[in-house]
Amino acid sequence: MELFEKLINYNTLLNNDANKELLEKYTEIIQAEYIHFIPAVRFDSALFLRLFAMLTKPRNILEIGFGSGVSSYFIAEQLYEVDNFVSLERDTARYERGKKIISQFNMNTVNLIHCDALEYLSNDDTMYDFIFIDAGKNDYTKYLHLIKDKLVTSGILICDNTFFNANVVKEESDIQKNHIKPTHSMKEFNTYLANLKCFNTSFFVVGDGMSLSIKI
C-alpha cells in the first residue's frame, strides 16, 4: 500500500508539473466568488474530463451538478463547436455564484439551469453525446435510469466520486455515520453501472474514483 501511495503522489506531481497553467486556473475558479465550501472535482479528475472532451469533441453536453464550476470549465476549455451545454444545479447559492463564474471565466457555451435534476430530466427529450454526473450520491442510480436512453450510441458517460473517499471498500464500522447511506448508494450504483449491458464501462483510480462508460 505504501508503494501504491507513492505512485499516486508521483503521478500527481507529474500532472501538476505538466499542467501548471491549468492548475492555476483550477485554483482561481475554486477561490472566485467564494460563498461557502463547495465540493469540486480534484485536479486530476478535471484533467481526465478535459482529455476525453478533447478526444471526443462532443457537441451536446449534459452536466448534472455545476458545483464549483471547475468541471464545466475543463470540459468546455478546448471545445470550439458546441451546440448545447446544459449544466444543472439545484443549490441556490451555487447557482447564483455559478452565473458570475460563467461570466468571469468566459464560459459562454454553458447554459446553467437552476433546477432539480431528476425533475428536469424527467421532462427532457434532448439527446446528448457527453454526460457528466457529479451531484447527490444518493441519486446517482436514479440519474442513470433517466439518462441512459438520452445518450447517443458511442456517447460518453463519466461519473465522479465512484470510490467516495475510499468508503466503498471500508468496513461499515469505519465509515462516518452521515456517510453510510451515500456509501451504500455509491456501491449500489457502481455495481449497477458495471453490469449495465448498454454500456461498456471501466473504473479508474483518478481523483475520488471515476467511471467511464461508452454507450453501445
Other CB atoms within a 10 A radius of the CB of residue 51 amount to 12
Q: Which segments of the chain have a pLDDT < 50?
A: none
- pTM score, whole prediction: 0.96
Q: At what angle do helices 2-18 and 43-56 cross, to 10 degrees?
A: 60
Q: pLDDT exceeding 70 applies to what percent of the chain?
A: 100
* 3-state secondary structure labels for all residues of 146-193: HHCCCEEEEEEEEEECCCCCCHHHCCHHHCCHHHHHHHHHHHHHHHHH
Q: What is the pLDDT of residue 10?
A: 93
Q: What is the pLDDT of residue 34?
A: 82
Tell me the backbone φ, ψ of residue 153, rounded to 5 degrees: -60, 135
What are the residue ranges spanned by the domains of the chain?
A: 2-215
Question: What's the grid cell of residue 108?
Answer: 459562454
pLDDT score recorded for residue 39: 85
* CATH architecture label of 2-215: 3-Layer(aba) Sandwich (3.40)
Ramachandran sector of residue 38 (left: φ over 0; alpha: ψ -120 to 50; beta: rest): beta
d(CA 66, CA 63) in angstroms, rounded, equals: 7
